[in-house]
Amino acid sequence: MANIHSQKKRILRSERERLENRRYTSTIKTYFRRLESLVDGGDAETVAGAHRELTSTIDKAVKRGAMHRNTGARKKSRAAHLVAGSAGGAQPTSE
């Protein structure tokens, strides 16, 4: 443990922040696994709800700084591809 008072406070604060960041990343992994299982055997409405919940959590984690914005974008993209593939057809194109 550090001797300097401000450094002791910083150590405690960084531990709290680390645990909060882990909560976000763990929740995102759980939601992604849940989305994958729903895509395999769920109806479109529950898949859409799970995707919306996952996207919202990723956005909150990025806003809070628990996750880098490119990592969040990558995870959202993978989730979107997963959902689009489950729709049964070609990928949507923008024209």
Q: Is the pTM of this model over 0.95?
A: no
State which residues form the domain around 77.
Answer: 23-82
In Å, how far from its chain's centre is CA 55? 7
Number of compact structural domains in the chain: 1
Q: What is the pLDDT of residues 45-91, one digit of tens each?
A: 899 999 999 999 999 999 999 999 999 999 999 999 999 986 654 44
Mean of the per-residue pLDDT values for the chain?
A: 89
H or E stretch covering 89: none
Residue 12: is its pLDDT beyond 90?
yes
Residue 1 lies in a domain: no
- The pLDDT value recorded for residue 90 is 45
Residue 61 lies in a domain: yes
What is the spatial distance between Cα 82 and Cα 35, in angstroms, rounded to a whole number? 8
H or E stretch covering 60: helix 44-64
In Å, how far from its chain's centre is CA 83? 15
Residue 4 lies in a domain: no
- The pLDDT value recorded for residue 89 is 46
Residue 13 lies in a domain: no
What is the spatial distance between Cα 45 and Cα 58, in angstroms, rounded to a whole number? 20
